[in-house]
Amino acid sequence: MKLSGTNILTCSALFFCVSLSHFSIAGEVSPLESYPEVNRIWMGLEEGSIRPAAYQKVRSIMDGYLSLQAKDGQLLKKGELWAVFDLEQIEIERSNLDLEEEKLELQLRKDSEDFREAHISLQLELHEAESKRQALLDASENPSIPTDLRKRAGEAILKMDERLDLLRQKAAPETMDRELKIKETEGRLLITRQRKQFLALEKRSRLIAEFDGELRLSNTIKKAIEEKKDAEGADALIWVASNQHIATIVNDDKFEIVVTAASPLLSQIQREELLVYLQEPRTGRLIAGDYARTDEVDTGGEILQKFVFTIQDDSIEDARHSSGQRGLVHIYRKFQQPVRLIHKKDIAFAAADILATSGWDGLVRNLWPGSTVIQVGPQTIAVMSDNEN
């Protein structure tokens, strides 16, 4: 059965409680100075894996033909070009983008002409409306026209005034210029966005080594190369599907231990104080690693935090033989100053009532006044006396 770090700690706690039932206190607790000085405390177990520190898995950015510029097993220098996607697709995208820009310029010219024609039409409509208003005004002021008709002419003038206001707003040069500018801005922003997308695609079509390392082509690519050689007698373009694994670039001068930390205890520790030992499955030897960074991995459903530890130089050879394997990782908190390490079972019954009400910190202060709990682990406690601080 696979145990997570949390389950392992739970089992340890149960074992601890059982062991306490067989423990009895004989006399007073020992002075704090009699407990061993250490520079770390065990915090629990997690599962982890070993991998090269410089490791890049490369996948295809699109469907297309790939031209390899380097061979399987070749040592690449940082920045070296090792593969290029067939430029035919890139050139098609470039031509399409150029065509879209030409279409935009034509459309902008057409819009400008349409707006000028619309402006002329609006001016004519405005002139006609003003003439009609004047005729209505003349009628409303003509005493020879019946009063009822003059009244209706006055009402029509009010409606005509509203229409004239709208026409004047629409026909105003600044209004038409603003509308034309908005359409132009929208079109150019779209082209700019497409241009940036194309440049990103063009850049990603040239596969560059991000660090010094060995090129290891995927089995699928190696098989495709052999089939092409058999069929055509020479290296040829290889067809790859989008997101297909193409190759891995590895530099195994350095290695890392990667842990997906689930234990709630780890959230209490400054990451720079973390120290791990992975138990190498083949030999059982412990491989030491110092905290380097935390990577976030998007699994699609959640974001996982992975703690990454750089393997110490004296464990490199063991790590090289165990690369890719998983194993139990002992997690420690390390201290800048020595602390006293006390097993919980040695003091748990010394003042059980204080432990129950004030926890380990209260119990330690009661047993050794002037002392402080630095860290509580699953089995032990790190304590420091004020005199030793």
User: Which homologous superfamily does the CATH classification assign to the domain defined by 5-57+250-385?
Assistant: Efflux pump adaptor protein, beta barrel domain (2.40.30.170)
Class of domain 58-86+204-249: mainly beta
What's the pLDDT score for residue 389? Answer: 55
Q: Is 61 helix (H, G, I), strand (E, B) or coil?
A: coil
Q: Cβ–Cβ contacts within 10 Å for residue 222, how many? A: 14
Are 172 and 126 a contacting pair, CB within 8 Å?
A: no
Matching CATH topology for 5-57+250-385 and 58-86+204-249?
no
DSSP string across 232-247:
HSS---EEE-TT-EEE
What's the pLDDT score for residue 360? Answer: 95
Are 287 and 308 a contacting pair, CB within 8 Å?
A: no
What's the pLDDT score for residue 263? Answer: 65
Q: Rounded distance, CA 25 to CA 43, Å?
A: 26
Domain ranges of the chain: 5-57+250-385, 58-86+204-249, 91-202
Please state, in angstroms and as integers, the Cα–Cα distance from residue 26 to each residue in 23, 105, 202, 261, 367, following that order: 10, 94, 77, 40, 15
Q: Rounded distance, CA 69 to CA 63, Å?
A: 19
Pull the structure tokens for residue 161: 């005034």
In 3D space, the residue among 207, 212, 214 whose CA is nearest the CA of residue 78 turns out to be 212
**Helix, strand, coil percentages for the chain (3-state, nearest 5):** 45, 30, 20
Are 86 and 66 a contacting pair, CB within 8 Å?
A: yes
Q: What is the pLDDT along the chain (389 residues), one digit of tens a residue?
A: 444 444 444 444 434 343 333 333 434 788 999 999 999 999 988 888 888 888 888 888 778 888 888 999 999 998 999 998 876 777 778 888 888 888 888 888 888 877 777 777 777 777 887 888 887 787 777 887 887 887 887 778 888 888 888 877 777 777 777 877 888 888 888 888 888 877 777 777 889 898 888 999 999 999 888 887 765 544 568 888 888 999 999 888 888 999 886 666 667 788 889 999 998 777 778 899 999 988 877 665 677 788 899 998 888 888 887 777 788 889 999 999 999 999 999 999 999 999 999 999 999 999 999 999 999 999 999 999 877 65
What is the chain's length? 389
Q: Is 351 helix (H, G, I), strand (E, B) or coil?
A: coil
Q: Cβ–Cβ contacts within 10 Å for residue 335, how many? A: 16
Which is it for the CA torsion 350, 352, 357, 360, positive or negative? positive
In 3D space, the residue among 356, 355, 387 whose CA is nearest the CA of residue 31 turns out to be 387
DSSP string across 4-23:
-HHHHHHHHHHHHHHHHTT-
What's the pLDDT score for residue 95? Answer: 86
Angle at which helix 147-171 crosses helix 173-204, to 10 degrees, equals 30
Pull the structure tokens for residue 58: 């490369």
Pull the structure tokens for residue 143: 């005493």
In 3D space, the residue among 374, 262, 206 whose CA is nearest the CA of residue 7 turns out to be 262
In 3D space, the residue among 358, 279, 375 whose CA is nearest the CA of residue 326 turns out to be 279
The residue whose two tokens read 């890139």 is 90
In 3D space, the residue among 363, 265, 341 whose CA is nearest the CA of residue 34 turns out to be 341
Q: Rounded distance, CA 141 to CA 154, Å?
A: 9
Q: Rounded distance, CA 315 to CA 309, Å?
A: 13
